């Protein structure tokens, strides 16, 4: 994304504790500057949820800042999968999937689970020579932490997206809950 604008400050915050995180760690991006909104018109509740008492704007973006001050947006806070107390970024799992030969596109969502909170599941569009379920699981075991493993993989012909190309996660959740 780049570096912070002049007259603007930012911090990366742990969404669970509201504590500032060190350089290199991922958390919610909070910003403060003259360009920030002051609140929602006639909606004190939404303002309180988005702007802290001391003026920090909670962006809802999951980001990290490197040692040189460059900021990287990695996901949206609303999209994080909460699995057994861990926060799993769907974008990270998607990146691991599309890095595999034969995976054309994918979407990762959280499936509600009474014990774990949510289970990471993937919908995958693959070519004829694309990986099977076992190959995907093996790739994840080799490359990602145990709490970031997929609990289901569904091969599909299409990932529903908006006109702007954004994955329609609510549609996917509805579709999967109907199938379960």
For the question of whether the overall pTM of this predicted structure is more than 0.85, the answer is no
Q: Examine the domain organization and report whether 73 and 93 are in the same domain.
A: no
Mean pLDDT value across residues 69-79: 83
d(CA 36, CA 132) in angstroms, rounded, equals 47
State residue 180's pLDDT score: 59
Residue 77 has pLDDT above 70, yes or no: yes
Question: What is the count of structural domains for the chain?
Answer: 2
Residue numbers of the domain that contains 138: 80-179
How crowded is residue 173: how many other Cβ atoms within 10 Å of its Cβ? 15
The closest of 15, 13, 169, 30 to 86, measured between CA atoms, is: 15
- pLDDT at position 89: 87
**Nearest 5°: phi and psi at 171?**
-65, -40
The model's pLDDT over 15-45, given as tens digits with 9 standing for 90+, comes to 888 899 999 998 899 999 988 888 899 998 9
Which pLDDT tens digit goes with each residue over 98-126? Answer: 999 999 999 999 888 899 999 999 999 99
Domain boundary among 61, 78, 95: 78
Q: How confident is the model at residue 61 (pLDDT cuts 50, 70, 90)?
A: confident
Q: Helices then strands (H, E): number in the chain?
A: 4, 9
Residue 1 is assigned to a structural domain of this protein? no
CA separation, residue 52 to residues 9, 13, 18, 48 (Å) = 14, 12, 11, 6
């Amino acid at each position: 994304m780049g570096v912070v604008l002049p007259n603007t400050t930012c911090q990366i915050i742990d969404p669970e504790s509201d504590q500032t995180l060190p350089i290199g760690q991922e958390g919610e991006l909070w910003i403060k500057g003259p360009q920030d909104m002051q609140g929602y018109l006639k909606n004190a509740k939404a303002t309180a949820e988005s702007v802290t008492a001391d003026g920090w704007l909670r962006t809802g973006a999951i980001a990290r800042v490197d040692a040189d001050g460059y900021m990287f947006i990695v996901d949206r806070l609303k999209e994080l999968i909460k699995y057994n107390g861990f926060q799993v970024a769907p974008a990270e799992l998607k990146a691991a999937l599309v890095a595999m030969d034969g995976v054309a596109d994918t979407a990762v969502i959280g499936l509600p689970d009474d014990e774990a909170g949510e289970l990471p599941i993937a919908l995958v569009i693959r070519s004829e020579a694309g990986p099977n379920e076992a190959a995907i699981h093996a790739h994840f075991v080799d490359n990602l932490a145990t709490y970031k493993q997929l609990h289901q993989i569904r091969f599909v012909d299409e990932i529903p997206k908006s006109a702007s190309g954004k994955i329609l996660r609510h549609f996917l959740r509805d579709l999967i809950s109907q199938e379960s």
